[in-house]
Amino acid sequence: MIVVDDLLVEPKVLSTKFMCDVKKCKGACCTMPGGSGAPLSANELELIDSALELVKDQLLPEARALIEKKGAWEEEDGKYYTTCVDKKACVFVVYNKDGIAQCSIEKAWHAGHTDWRKPISCHLFPVRVADFGGPYLHYEEIEECEDGRALGEREELSLIESLQEPLIRAFGEQAYEKLKEAAEKRI
C-alpha cells in the first residue's frame, strides 16, 4: 500500500496502463453476472431516486418490473447498491444499436437533462474505493477489461490518466496531480 496525498493506494492502480475499449467489451462492467449492482453512498440514494424519474421510461421492461417490486437500489449489510436484473445488468442499463451497454443516467447527463453524471463508483471503475480508516484505492482486475488493458498499453495511457475526470470529481485536482506524478514514476 502506498500513501499519496492522504489516499491509500494499491501499487497496481499506479502501474497499470488502461483505456476502456467499449467496442470490444460491450460495456461489460454494467452487466457482469453474479455480483451486486453499483455501490452507492448514502448521499447518492436520493440522487438515484431522482434520476429514476428522469429515465424510467427508457429502461428495459424487465428492469421496470423489478424496480416496481424492489426499487432501484437495495441495502445489504449496511451498504447500498443499485438493483440488478437476474443478478446481472444494473436496472439503469440500456443498450445502443451496437449492443453496447450504457448507463441511462449518464445518457441523460450527456443530453443535458441532469447535473449528476452517475454514481461515483461506476465513474471510477475499474478502480474501487474501500474504507480503510480513509479511502483505499484498489484495482479490480477483471477478465472483461482485458481489451481495455491492451488498448492502454497501445495508447500508453495510465489507469490514473484514463480516470482523470472521476478522480478529480472524487478527490480533487491536487490529489489527481499527485496520483499522476506517482504513476509516472511507476510506469
Residues in contact with ligand SF4 by CB under 6 A are: 20-22, 25, 27-29, 125-126, 144-145, 148
Count of CB atoms situated within 10 Å of the CB of 46: 9
> Which H/E stretch holds residue 8?
strand 7-9
Least distance from ligand SF4 to the Cβ atom of residue 3, Å: 26
Least distance from ligand SF4 to the Cβ atom of residue 21, Å: 6
3-state helix, strand, coil in the chain (%, to 5): 50, 20, 30
Phi, psi of 167 (to 5 degrees): -65, -40
Query: Which of 119/126 has CB closer to ligand SF4?
Result: 126
Least distance from ligand SF4 to the Cβ atom of residue 149, Å: 8
Least distance from ligand SF4 to the Cβ atom of residue 6, Å: 26
Query: Which of 13/20 has CB closer to ligand SF4?
Result: 20
Query: Which of 20/66 has CB closer to ligand SF4?
Result: 20
Query: Which of 108/163 has CB closer to ligand SF4?
Result: 163
